[in-house]
Amino acid sequence: MLRVGIVGGTGYTGAELLRILLRHPGVSLNVITSRGEAGQPVADLFPHLRGQVDLCFSEPDNAVLGDCDLVFFATPNGTAMQSVPDLLDRGVRVIDLAADFRLKDPALWERWYGIPHQCPDLLEEAVYGLPELNRESIRGARLIANPGCYPTAVTLGFLPLLAGGVVDPSWLIADAKSGVSGAGRKATTGLLMAEVGESFKAYSVTGHRHEPEITQNLAQFAGVRANLTFVPHLLPMIRGIEATLYARLTDPGVDLDRLYADRYADEHFIDLMPGGHPDTRSVRGANQCRIAVARPGSGDIVVVQSVIDNLVKGAAGQAVQNMNLMFGLQESMGLESVALLP
Amino acid sequence: MLRVGIVGGTGYTGAELLRILLRHPGVSLNVITSRGEAGQPVADLFPHLRGQVDLCFSEPDNAVLGDCDLVFFATPNGTAMQSVPDLLDRGVRVIDLAADFRLKDPALWERWYGIPHQCPDLLEEAVYGLPELNRESIRGARLIANPGCYPTAVTLGFLPLLAGGVVDPSWLIADAKSGVSGAGRKATTGLLMAEVGESFKAYSVTGHRHEPEITQNLAQFAGVRANLTFVPHLLPMIRGIEATLYARLTDPGVDLDRLYADRYADEHFIDLMPGGHPDTRSVRGANQCRIAVARPGSGDIVVVQSVIDNLVKGAAGQAVQNMNLMFGLQESMGLESVALLP
Amino acid sequence: MLRVGIVGGTGYTGAELLRILLRHPGVSLNVITSRGEAGQPVADLFPHLRGQVDLCFSEPDNAVLGDCDLVFFATPNGTAMQSVPDLLDRGVRVIDLAADFRLKDPALWERWYGIPHQCPDLLEEAVYGLPELNRESIRGARLIANPGCYPTAVTLGFLPLLAGGVVDPSWLIADAKSGVSGAGRKATTGLLMAEVGESFKAYSVTGHRHEPEITQNLAQFAGVRANLTFVPHLLPMIRGIEATLYARLTDPGVDLDRLYADRYADEHFIDLMPGGHPDTRSVRGANQCRIAVARPGSGDIVVVQSVIDNLVKGAAGQAVQNMNLMFGLQESMGLESVALLP
Amino acid sequence: MLRVGIVGGTGYTGAELLRILLRHPGVSLNVITSRGEAGQPVADLFPHLRGQVDLCFSEPDNAVLGDCDLVFFATPNGTAMQSVPDLLDRGVRVIDLAADFRLKDPALWERWYGIPHQCPDLLEEAVYGLPELNRESIRGARLIANPGCYPTAVTLGFLPLLAGGVVDPSWLIADAKSGVSGAGRKATTGLLMAEVGESFKAYSVTGHRHEPEITQNLAQFAGVRANLTFVPHLLPMIRGIEATLYARLTDPGVDLDRLYADRYADEHFIDLMPGGHPDTRSVRGANQCRIAVARPGSGDIVVVQSVIDNLVKGAAGQAVQNMNLMFGLQESMGLESVALLP
């Protein structure tokens, strides 16, 4: 049994990690920390875990965490980088679900996250934990930067097009929509149900932190720097991301369904729906990305729809998928639950 | 492996049965029928089951169903009673998730369901499948009447009070609220999102079919006929029932938390929350009933809160719990998934 | 034109007052204050008011407010009582939408609101602003205690029964449900959409501040102290209160629909729906209370359904109704907009 | 007083017309028809109109409708064209809220709507009722084709860019999202709350009827045929459309905020929010379109956000705006109500 710890377990990502890990047959959860809730039983904060977990939150302590084989950070951006070097030195492997190790360029990181990076020397080693992109590197990694939710949906949607060289990378549009759980469990007026229920809007139109992350991904398989316009929107619902992607075909003869089928033939967690309209509820609670690709009017514009559960394939599920790869477990272990619909 | 069939698999109860049975280690799903969708792959109707099930819906056929050890009926009221006698004769055991076998009195059944009962002789044999009430009878049953969703929440909430004889059975109030999935997957104007979203109301105030079912249950452990006022309400959400129950204490010295703890000490699927306010999301997708009991102002009115997921402990999960009991499996097999929150 | 001011205009009650007063033909809005947002244009905080109002929030200042004919307080509990005596001395009339002047007994107030009352001498003079109960007193009042949202729905629902002396006042049940806007625009985790969306629960089961307020109202027309069990619940929607009330008939021969029709014959803002099921959406945005009364199984339990929009008839609309009465305007002036459905 | 009639008043568009017309000071509602509900009081179908309207639905009858100055058709597509020629002959003016007269080319109409057009000779005369585009023609029109909801939001968003000639018309993207009321009040499984609540998806990705309508509009002010990719999505909420539009600048020096401000300077129902993120709730119930235009990273991609209430500026409100223009009333008469927020 893997001995794992969770740092920062009071947010939605932490709760979702708990939900998955508590049913994972190869894992024993040793410790879960929270500065704010130290001493409180986990099940008091999360009533759905009553009867499922006996742990209390504890103060974060690297000596204790050092006994784990793996530590997940489900902390705000800028927290993990304070402790990760020491944990790695103690021989612990780390998956950071925040953004600390996602961007390779520390200057870019500082620009978007507003503070200097504490351990830029680890950025090169950190592996971006998108298995469909970096599976082999993940297996050997000590440190995983778990992808952002939007970047997961957008990257998986664009990947076959750009890797196949069939679209113009110089203009790509990603119109992305997320349920409110993607914004976390912070007490802010802007996320009250009376503010975001029964309403819809775009946000961060002039720039969002996930844009450089996606652009970095796209460059990896496009070979050139892609030019992406990324506009996120807030949905009046809790879980789910849908990204509608637009690109211009440079190879009008390409068979798009075939292109996607070939690229994702062996991917257990990607489901292609030719001619379909994937909805977010079909992946609610499941570590799944469903994708459909279309070409309206047989023209040169490709439209890709990509849906995930932001807390599962967009966060905790993907983290467990990475864990499975890192420790030689079956990649889908603990991740087979069926989506909850309706 | 148990060979099971589902008759009428296109509603929400059928979909939920599928979700649970597809992960149940002791079950093989042999057949799923639907008159309307015969020939269609199940996964075309329910996109969350893509990759999970290869079956197509088939026409209901007792010869085929006769090869099963157990058949679930997830059909409209009045359907199961047409086929159940023949299936029992073929040695198949049956769990009916509709109302056909819930009421012991065929005249009462006809009054509430509007048609004569087709096999009143089976009503006596049929066991009301609420394990917390009838566990031993369920083990040996050929035919289970799976309880209604409201009756499950209300009966489990009142049971310790009435069995303990500490309240006046001559006036009991059940103010119950259900998510819209409880009304099924019928195309009716009244269930459109534009009609029921962002709104709330009571319905069937002068009488609802679940009232005689609950009253029958209460009589079983109250010893006398209870006098219940039952008012259902429709919630602007999908899953979940909350019932707030009111009764008058006749024994003001009773320790209510102790009473409930004693009665439910061995019940795996009942969670007591002394001093708490159970919310429906804490049981979303889980075969769980959470209950809290309170006595405002230390007066003689007891207030019980009882929550379930109407599709799980209120329908498909409870059906699987009954199946486990009937076939000597561990009662919780296949029912251990953690609720989905948020 | 009446010169009016609003103190504390950044909450939902304040926003709703603005929406109504900006279209009220007899009112000129002179000043709106907020300590936290002083200097900011009102329309920056509330985008729906862009183009409707040019005012900026200002620091509360009794010298400025003293120029008004009427000041509304849409402040947290305990705020209005700091300034009201001085404003009254300046000849300004006041409507407090918070709880400061609702309870006649200062000891009771302190028990429920946790701080000593600052001007207990005004409690006797303050008129409880429920026009259907106290219309004549409201006309002459200097100081109005605008009712709470739950108390409005519950009191109007019980009034004909208790005033008519046809039910037993010694046990009354009010099972009330409110949309989240009733909890205000505070940044708290418990009101995030990811916490309260798609879920339902009771709260404050052992005691809620609105219980003594309702009990005080009921005593006024019952003649004796009523014994009320009041349980509030939180609905996964924004606007609307539904209260389902239960009482025991002492006069089984009474014609309930007639009783209500007689009592409310001249009430413009009360709509009786015999045999109906009022839904909250039918009053969304409207200063209306819809009521239906039923007697399930012709027994001795009466069930009353009462719905309002918590921000209109439960707060701002009722305040404007009181204003109209106080200043001799037509009672419905500015309050005739039709509910928004769907 | 204008004497007006409504044909087909049982859908959401009809209900919204009623809500607006019942408060319009220049209108008397003479007749409202419905084949299915003839004889039933309007207020029985729409509880929010109780006490507001005494009319019953009647069978459609051109003799009766012929007494009106104006008839609104709030009918399914293909219905108005059956009666409009006769009504025009009787001297009645007509506003069709369906699609019958929106496309100028009858072959195109037949291709998208599946039936031959009944009165293609009227297509030329019919004026497309978007006042911001065709105000002068509307004033004199006998027959108005009231725009679709998506086309209103998208056309108003693109208009200044294309009329100004600052973007490349050969690729335009409109990623549009609508609340469920846009799909009407039909009893279909796909619009049940249990199906569309808490979920999001695109639909009609390969082609939607509103695309040719928008393209026809864009051609009017672009001078050339625009090449539009239009992808609609279904939001888990009731009212509101948000369209996020993407275009490529051909004139990188243009001042976008100035361009929009100049074009819409005199438009009462368009509100520009430079640097903002308009949300749909800010126009809920209001005849308003809010627009913001941005240029992420100062690049050559323009992003326009455009929000309306699909039932108001996207349907009934715009129809009344057209009526006001046709009959020489003040354009905003009856359309001044403030949006309902929260």
ipTM, two decimals = 0.97
- CB burial of residue C70 (10 Å; 0-12, 13-18, 19+): buried
Q: What are phi and psi of B220, to 5 degrees?
A: -60, -40
Verify whether the Cβ–Cβ distance C194 to A236 is below 8 Å: no
Q: If phi over 0 gives left and psi between -120 and 50 gives alpha, with beta otherwise, what is residue D272?
A: beta
Inform me whether the C-beta atom of residue C299 falls under 8 Å from chain B C-beta atoms: yes
Determine contact: B287 vs chain A, CB below 8 A: no
Q: Is C36 on the interface with A (CB under 8 A)?
A: no
**Residues A38/A59, Cβ–Cβ less than 8 Å:** yes
Report yes or no: A238 at the B interface, CB cutoff 8 Å.
yes
Residues in chain D with CB shorter than 8 Å from the CB of C271 are: 50-51
User: Quick one: CA torsion of D150, D152, D157, D161, rounded to 10 degrees?
Assistant: 120
Mark yes or no for CB contact A292/D201 under 8 Å.
Answer: no
Please report the DSSP string for D231-268 in residue order: EEEE-SSSS-EEEEEEEEES-TT--HHHHHHHHTTT-T
Write phi, then psi, for B173 (nearest 5 degrees): -120, 135
* Calpha distance A174→A213 (Å, rounded): 13
User: D280–A231: do the CB atoms touch at under 8 Å?
Assistant: no
Chain D contacts of A239, Cβ < 8 Å? 198
User: Nearest C-alpha of chain D: how many angstroms from B224?
Assistant: 39
- Which chain C residue's Cα is nearest to B197? C237
What is the enclosing helix (H) or strand (E) of C222? helix C210-222
Chain A residues near residue B242 by CB distance under 8 angstroms: none
Which chains would you list as touching C if contact means 3+ CB atom pairs under 8 Å? A, B, D
Chain A: nearest CA to C101, how far in angstroms? 27
Q: Give me chain A's average pLDDT, please.
A: 97
- 3-state class of B229 per DSSP? strand
Residue B69 burial (CB count, 10 A)? 18
**Does the active-site annotation cover A149?**
yes
Nearest residue, CB atoms, C48 vs list D19, D273, D339: D339
Given pLDDT bands bounded at 50, 70 and 90, which one contains residue C192?
Answer: very high
- What is the pairing mode between strands A27-33 and A2-7? parallel
A192 → closest Cβ in C191, C198, C236: C191
Q: Looking at A68, A119, A149, A289, which residue is catalytic?
A: A149
Residue of B nearest to C193 (CA): B342
A342 touches chain C (CB under 8 A): no
For D47, which of C22, C282, C285 is closest by C-beta distance?
C282
Average pLDDT over residues C69-81: 97
Local structure of A190: helix, strand or coil: helix
Q: Do C171 and B294 touch (CB under 8 A)?
A: no
Packed helices B149-163 and B131-140: angle between N→C axes, nearest 10 degrees: 110
Subunits with 3+ Cβ pairs within 8 Å of A are B, C, D
pLDDT at residue number C224: 83
pLDDT in single tens digits along all 342 residues of chain B: 999 999 998 999 999 999 999 999 999 999 999 999 999 999 999 999 999 999 999 999 999 999 999 999 999 999 999 999 999 999 999 999 999 999 999 999 999 999 999 999 999 999 999 999 999 999 999 999 999 999 999 999 999 999 999 999 999 999 999 999 999 999 999 999 999 999 999 999 999 999 999 999 999 988 888 999 999 999 999 999 999 999 999 998 999 999 999 999 999 999 999 999 999 999 999 999 999 999 999 899 999 999 999 999 999 999 999 999 999 999 999 999 999 999
Residue corresponding to tokens 């015999």? C274
Check whether A320 has a pLDDT greater than 90: yes
CB contact under 8 A, A248 and D171: yes
* Cβ–Cβ gap D180/B193 under 8 Å: yes
A23 near B CB under 8 A = yes
Inter-chain contact A48–B337, Cβ cutoff 8 Å? no
Interface with chain A: mutation pick from C180, C193, C199, C235, highest number of A CBs within 10 Å? C193
Backbone angles phi, psi at D95, to 5 degrees: -120, 115
Is D12 within 8 Å of B236 when comparing Cβ atoms? no
- Is the Cβ pair D48, C19 closer than 8 Å? no
CA distance D42 to C338: 14
Kindly report the number of other CB atoms within 10 A of residue C245's CB atom.
25
Q: Which domains does chain A have, with CATH numbers?
A: 2-125 (3.40.50.720), 150-310 (3.30.360.10)
Q: Do B185 and D194 touch (CB under 8 A)?
A: yes
| Interchain proximity A48–B15, CB inside 8 Å | no
Tell if the CB–CB gap between A277 and D239 is shorter than 8 Å. Answer: no
C341 → closest Cβ in D15, D198, D273:
D15
Q: Cβ of B281 and A48 within 8 Å?
A: yes
- Residue of chain D whose alpha carbon sits nearest to that of A197: D237
Contact residues on chain D for A242, CB-CB shorter than 8 A: 200-202, 233
pLDDT at B222: 80
pLDDT category at A299 given cuts 50, 70, 90 is very high
Rg (CA), chain D: 19
> Are A187 and C185 in contact (CB < 8 Å)?
no
Q: What is the pLDDT of residues A112-170, one digit of tens each?
A: 999 999 999 999 999 999 999 999 999 999 999 999 999 999 999 999 999 999 999 99
> Can you tell me the distance from the alpha carbon of B85 to that of B66, in angstroms, rounded to the nearest whole number?
12
DSSP 8-state symbol, D125: T
Chain A, nearest residue to B193 by Cα = A198
Minimum distance, in Å, between the CA of residue A196 and any CA atom of chain C: 7
Burial B118-139 (b: 16+ CB within 10 A, else e): bbeebbeebbbbbbbbbbeebe
Q: Which of C179, C235, C244 has the CB atom closest to B202's CB atom? A: C244
Contact C279 B200 (CB under 8 A): yes
* A25 and chain D in contact, CB less than 8 A: no
Provide the chain D residues 195-224 that lie in CB contact (below 8 A) with chain B.
195-198
Q: Residue A239: its chain B contacts at CB < 8 A?
A: 342
Query: How many Å lie between the alpha carbon of D237 and the closest alpha carbon of chain B?
Result: 7
What is the rounded CA–CA span in Å between residue C252 and residue C244? 20
Question: Token pair 């104007």 is at which residue?
Answer: B189
pLDDT in tens, chain D (342 residues): 999 999 998 999 999 999 999 999 999 999 999 999 999 999 999 999 999 999 999 999 999 999 999 999 999 999 999 999 999 999 999 999 999 999 999 999 999 999 999 999 999 999 999 999 999 999 999 999 999 999 999 999 999 999 999 999 999 999 999 999 999 999 999 999 999 999 999 999 999 999 999 999 999 988 888 999 999 999 999 999 999 999 999 998 999 999 999 999 999 999 999 999 999 999 999 999 999 999 999 899 999 999 999 999 999 999 999 999 999 999 999 999 999 999
Q: D-chain residues within 8 Å CB-CB of C46?
A: 341
| Residue B235 sits at the chain C interface (C-beta within 8 Å) | yes
3-class secondary structure per residue, A70-110 = EEEECCCCCCHHHHHHHHHHCCCEEEECCCCCCCCCHHHHH
| Alpha carbon distance C327, D236 (integer Å) | 44
CA distance B185 to chain D (A): 7
CA distance B245 to chain A (A): 21
Which residues on chain B are in Cβ contact (under 8 Å) with C194?
Answer: 342
Q: If you measure CA to CA, which chain B residue comes closest to D179?
A: B194
Tell me which DSSP letter residue B181 carries: G
Determine the Cα–Cα distance for residues D40 and C307; give it in Å rounded to an integer. Answer: 24
Most C CBs within 10 A among D10, D50, D199, hence the mutation to make, goes to: D50
Spatial separation of the C-alpha atoms in residues A130 and A138, rounded to whole Å: 8
Q: Is B342 helix (H, G, I), strand (E, B) or coil?
A: coil
Measure A197 CA to nearest chain C CA, in Å.
7
Residues of A in contact with B181 (CB under 8 A): 342
Q: C225 falls in which pLDDT band (50, 70, 90)?
A: confident
Res. C163: pLDDT tops 90: yes
Cα–Cα–Cα angle for C185, C187, C193, rounded to 5 degrees: 85
| Residues in chain A closer than 8 A to C238 (CB atoms) | 193-194, 197-198
The predicted structure's pLDDT at residue D18? 97
